Structure 1
């Protein structure tokens, strides 16, 4: 079982300091050894980051599976896996003997090197791709060397270490983009449950809205289908079978839930709430809210 925890809670729990100099940096970066995050007493793995915020590159040793909405990839030994906060997946270790390393970083961390190019424009982070790559023994050694170098540099006093770490992250990205993606196996078994589960995870990643600088970007059934790399009709069929509700109904219910929270628990004006929830027009939000609740936003707030 994998349990989530925040980065700050992880550092406190493991008596580990935040990486030196990170407060002066844009974005966040860190590197971890996978086996050190497994609690043998409870049989749980700690996920020391929020999937909503961080990109992740993993060097995996040992048998496991990577499950996407319509794809399952069997990992037999050594592999390199790339994850973006915009595309949900499940990583399922076959046993407790998984080893390897992974790094996490925000999009802002690579800003100085991207020259205006979004990480999500890179082929390796595109929806519908299979961002898992089998490594032979020699390739695995090369990837391990990069991760070990990250680990050493993170603990060093070198003034420009984060510039070096950015280059190492980019080296991993380009290394992966040159490899041949692994083939997905049959997706029929448990596909509906997996698609439904990953849809709900992707939906919940959009919340809570804690700042007026945040904005709900995924608003329609097609938005979610595109991220999950499935046809919108298939997504709707699966959700109807599993939950009894259409994709649009589930999205609308969650948006209304968040709208009620923001109306009751913040001092944001209704136009600001409308904007953060993804509505470009205040009247559209008001009509949507009234249709779902029989109240106008102003009446509900009062």
Structure 2
């Protein structure tokens, strides 16, 4: 699983195929809209640091941590910065449109509240809709108007684009979401594999100013957008160890490396590994290994 893709990362990844409608940030927040005709047929499993609404005209599969859905007709996809997903197209040529935006852009004058609490973007919600022909026409027309507007020189065009975005959201909220998600036959294997990959990506800690972001099983479950009980069950089933044991083992491994191969003091190592106080780290390390961190530093073991 790749690291979170930022807006800058999105533009860098697609610099060669977005075309002239690629515009930079403007004003409060960020918004942009594109045709899908130059999209890669495969989007890697990862989280994105932005919201995205895509009208997918084509066939393929959307993959989440523990389930997937077959896209065999035009679909409207809502993605947010919390829930990671991957797209795998069955066709080289893709059609449709997508827009990406930040919450700051949409919340400028909005009454929708927190986007992650809305029916379309919330955790545990259904982010895929299959519009009928009437709604396909409505959404296609909205996207075409967005494409035209964003290239205009009208001084208030972002207010219009925001209005189009509201219209798309409210039109979708009238619809029924997809109910055809399928569980993976090897769901435990997939979840455990994604967890181990995510765990490994937290390391190495390269600088005393870089702190461990994910520290508990719940942190990892939230990052994978699954219930912590499901994560614990899958990791235990596949690895024979609990989620906490896997996290602890990797933290201790990193602590050994930092003690042996850096000149950071104990406090810097402790803070880098996510401990609020150096004493907590010392007690934790000694409890797990039977020796004190200073003993490793002084080559006493």
Superposition TM-score tier, normalisation by shorter sequence: 0.7 to 0.9
User: Aligned-pair distance for 1:78?
Assistant: 1.0
Secondary structure in 2 matching 1:36:
coil
1:88 is aligned to 2:99: no
Q: What's the counterpart of residue 183 of structure 2?
A: 187
Asked if 2 retains the 8 angstrom alpha-carbon contact of 1:86 and 1:202, the reply is no
Q: What's the counterpart of residue 68 of structure 2?
A: 72
Larger of the two Rg values belongs to structure? 2
Secondary structure in 2 matching 1:123:
coil
Q: What's the counterpart of residue 38 of structure 2?
A: 36
User: Aligned-pair distance for 1:89?
Assistant: 2.0
Aligned match for 2:153, one of 153, 157, 163:
157
Alpha carbons of 1:115 and 1:259: their partners in 2 closer, same or farther (altered >3 Å)?
farther
Q: What's the counterpart of residue 126 of structure 1?
A: 122
Number of matched pairs: 292
Q: Deviations over 1:241-297 (max 9, x none)?
A: 4445432244446667888999999x9x957983x8665556445544666686659
Which stretch of the first structure deviates more once superposed, 99-108 or 127-136?
99-108
Q: Supply the RMSD in Å over aligned alpha carbons.
A: 4.4
1:247 is aligned to 2:250: no
User: Aligned-pair distance for 1:181?
Assistant: 1.2
CA–CA separation in structure 1 for the residues paired with 2:213 and 2:19: 35
Give ranges in structure 2 of 5+ residues lacking alignment: none
1:107 is aligned to 2:100: no
Secondary structure in 2 matching 1:113:
coil
Give ranges in structure 1 of 5+ residues lacking alignment: 39-43
Which stretch of the first structure deviates more once superposed, 27-36 or 77-86?
27-36
Which stretch of the first structure deviates more once superposed, 10-19 or 240-249?
10-19
Q: What's the counterpart of residue 54 of structure 2?
A: 58
CA–CA separation in structure 1 for the residues paired with 2:105 and 2:206: 21
User: Aligned-pair distance for 1:81?
Assistant: 0.9
Q: What's the counterpart of residue 26 of structure 1?
A: 28
Which stretch of the first structure deviates more once superposed, 243-252 or 180-189?
243-252
Secondary structure in 2 matching 1:239:
helix
Asked if 1 retains the 8 angstrom alpha-carbon contact of 2:112 and 2:118, the reply is no
